[in-house]
Each structure stands twice: as C-alpha cells, then as structure tokens.
Structure 1
C-alpha cells in the first residue's frame, strides 16, 4: 500500500536468506517521479506539503490516509528536466525510494514490512543489503532506521485521518480539473472541510486543538488552491524545454 504502483513497478519484500546477494542502486535524481501523480504522506509531512501541493485524503483497506497530488496525465510539473524538484518540500517516500513499506494487519496485529522496487536491484553493482550470513549491512541498517520513523509517521497519519473522518471534518467528493496539463478526474476523494468546525461540540473542537490537528486541517483545506501552482510550474517547464 505504501508502494504506489505509479512509482514501484515491482515491489518485493526483503528477506535475509532470499536476498543475500542483492544490491540496491539508489537513483541520483528524482526522474523516477516524472510519471507519479499521487503519493502518500506521513503525519509530519501534511502541513509543510500544503504549502506547495494539493493535499487530499483517500480510503484504502478500511482506513484514511493523506496524499499529495504531484501532477495529472502522467506529468509532474514539480520536476526539472534534470530530474530534480523545483520546490523545497520532497515527500519522504520519494526520498526513500527504491525502498518502501508494505502494511499488513491481521486481527489486532499490525506490521510494516520493508519492500524494495525490483527495478533498482542488481547482483553486480550498488549497495549490499545483507551479508553472506544474512545480517543487515550498515547501509541497510541506516535505511531501516529511516523507514521505521516513516512507518511511525504513517501510522500517526492513519490515526489522524480516521479521527477527522469520525468527527466529520473531511467530506467525500468528486470533481474534474481542466488545466495546462490536461483533464483530470478525481473520484471519491476526501477533502478537508473546516465549515464543520462551527457546528462541532466544544469538547470535540477542544480535542482537535490540543491534539494539534486544527492547523493541519486548515492547511489541507486551503491546499486545493495549489492546483494553480501546476500552471506556474508547467509554464516554467515549457520554457526549459
């Protein structure tokens, strides 16, 4: 689930015995993001992401998760022709690629498993993941630490999404956007709705405030205006090419 198909062509779960000879090559730029239109966010990413991107929520496997819209029609206006982001904020999942996470839930048990895009695996070049004895290399241990922190952030994002859904601060909608990148149809997405805040019971509003959720909600609500940034960035892309 945290290996979006537009980004991860063939995600595989890493196993010490099976992948002892596996080497990983981390891309030198973000050109692999050129056709990626959406990507999930951790909780700590939501507010900074709303400065530059439209941020929505989606339902998957019974829970709610925030995501950013990076482009439409397979075009990502946030990238330069050299494959670098034009803006300061880069989603964590893009930074971690080709590593990602697979979320599994069985009853009350929840697990995040480390996955990698097989498109970036080799046997003769790149960084080794496991030693001959099946132990993690220093390279992979460092990556796992980052993935662990990201998993915790994703879990917090899922809890946030579920809570604001229960309170009624996000609504399901569908809409069509026409712009310089073409026509894009968004079906059954969840968008932040701050209008409900005026009707909330005081204790619920107090909870949203003390939990730090209010600024995140407002940021997501106003982020829909960032579709305008698509036009500005795309105009720059036209000039570059």
Structure 2
C-alpha cells in the first residue's frame, strides 16, 4: 500500500542527479512542468510535518514501513494508481500538491560522502532543464539568476522541514507510538473485503496511555497536533477507495492486497 525508495537508490522520481554549474550549464534554461507525468502511476508521496494540515484535507497520511519510516500522502490505495492525477499528468480539482512534487527536478545533495555542504542538483532526465530557446535563464554573466536563487531557497526550506520531520518521526519511535496498519473495506455486493496493509499508523491505545511529563512534552513540542492531523486523515482512506471505484482503478477481484 505504501512504498519507499526506488530501486536505483535515488529518491522517488529522480532517475539521475547532476550538480548545477555555471561552467556546464551557463546557457541552460528551465521551463515549467505543467503536467508532472511521473505522478500518473504514483500512489504515495513523502510529506513534511509542515504539510500535515493542508494535506490532511485531501489525503490519508500514513507512515512507510522499515527502520526509517517517513510520512506519506496516499493518493490511491494500490501501487501504480493515482486518483488525483489524470492520464496527462495534470492534477484534477484543487487538491494540495506536496512540496516533494513541487521541488522536482531539483534537490540539495552531497556530491560525495565527505562533503560537508549540500549542492544544488537536478535530474537531467526531467526534460525541464536544457539548452532551450524558451524558458528562464539559470545563469547570466556566469552568475546564478533570481530563478536559481528562488529554487535554492525552496530546496533549503524543504531540507529544514525534512529535519523537523525526522525529529517528529524520532519522537514517535522513542515513545513506541507506531504500529502496523490495516484497513478492511467491504464494498456493497462484494463477496470478499479488500484488505490493505503495508503501512504504519499511530497506535491510539498507546497514545491514550501516555501520562504526566511524557504527554506534556508531546504537547509542548507540537507533536500532538501532528498526530491528530494524521489520525483524522485516516478517515479519508475510504474516500480514496471510493475514488478508485468511480475511476475503475480497483483490482478485478476483492482479494488481500499487501504492498
């Protein structure tokens, strides 16, 4: 149901990474990506904690499996499906678009393991950066333009939000608040239910058992509102299932679905 990094060990969506350089890309331009076609078959996208409030209005927020789980916005319940994106890659309606999507094809990365600073890199396979006649110049007289400055600022904000998200996930792990999730949906007229697994969620019973200094610490740190945003958003899982039904994107047989 919820998936993590792709097989090439690069972050989701990224096929290659290349550092942006005035020497190599001095005449290159960036053009807008009106339709992120890579979203057509993507059912789950990473979120930062700053996005929990707006994202929870549209998507169930769950957590990936593994030793280093991350928050995910579910745009469908089955891999290879996205109920918020049309065949052309355009978002339908006014759904919130996660910052992870808006950051692509750029990101900050270390050029080698020993590097202390992060460098602005991009995915050259995105088709949005190159020696185009149209688009916004990335460099002028060998110096980064305002376009690059804005991209860099956004990527830096994203990295900072990522650090706060990592701290939030550490709090959940330290207090043993995560558990394996399972959702059973029995459509009317179906012989068998759909059973969705492959994600984590906050254990409400463990949350209710928290007392004293521990509970006060969660409130003071701002973790508790984030937890409740996650828990409230889980009610949308059935809405997402209904969207898949309406769009004909449900598996042919109502069997168990583990991801």
Normalising to structure 2: TM-score of the pair? 0.73
2:29–2:130 contact (8 Å) kept in structure 1: yes
In structure 1, which of residues 26, 30, 37 is the aligned counterpart of residue 43 of structure 2? 37
Write the distance in 2 (CA, Å) between the matches of 1:163 and 1:228.
28
1:192 equivalent in structure 2 = 202
Instruction: Rate the CA distance shift 1:185–1:20 in 2: closer, same or farther, 3 A.
Output: farther
Instruction: Rate the CA distance shift 1:3–1:236 in 2: closer, same or farther, 3 A.
Output: farther
Give the drift of 1:214: 1.1
In structure 2, which of residues 162, 174, 197 is the aligned counterpart of residue 166 of structure 1? 174
1:231 equivalent in structure 2 = 241
Q: Which protein has the larger Cα radius of gyration, Structure 1 or Structure 2? A: 2
1:150 aligns with 2:166: no
The residue matched to 2:84 in structure 1 has which SS?
coil
1:130 equivalent in structure 2 = 139
The residue matched to 2:233 in structure 1 has which SS?
helix
The residue matched to 1:18 in structure 2 has which SS?
helix
1:76 aligns with 2:82: yes
Write the distance in 2 (CA, Å) between the matches of 1:142 and 1:192.
36
| Greater strand content | 1
1:117 equivalent in structure 2 = 123
Q: Structure 1 stretch 51-60 or stretch 205-214: which is displaced more?
A: 51-60
Give the drift of 1:198: 2.3
2:103 equivalent in structure 1 = 96
Give the length in aligned residue pairs. 230
Give the drift of 1:84: 2.1
Give the drift of 1:156: 0.6
Instruction: Rate the CA distance shift 1:226–1:13 in 2: closer, same or farther, 3 A.
Output: farther
Write the distance in 2 (CA, Å) between the matches of 1:219 and 1:146.
24
Structure 1 residue runs without a partner (length 5+) = none
Give the drift of 1:209: 0.9
Q: Deviations over 1:209-240 (max 9, x none)?
A: 112211211221232332212233335546xx
Instruction: Rate the CA distance shift 1:104–1:165 in 2: closer, same or farther, 3 A.
Output: farther
Q: Deviations over 1:53-111 (max 9, x none)?
A: 12122367x6442121222231210124551232431111222322234479969x975
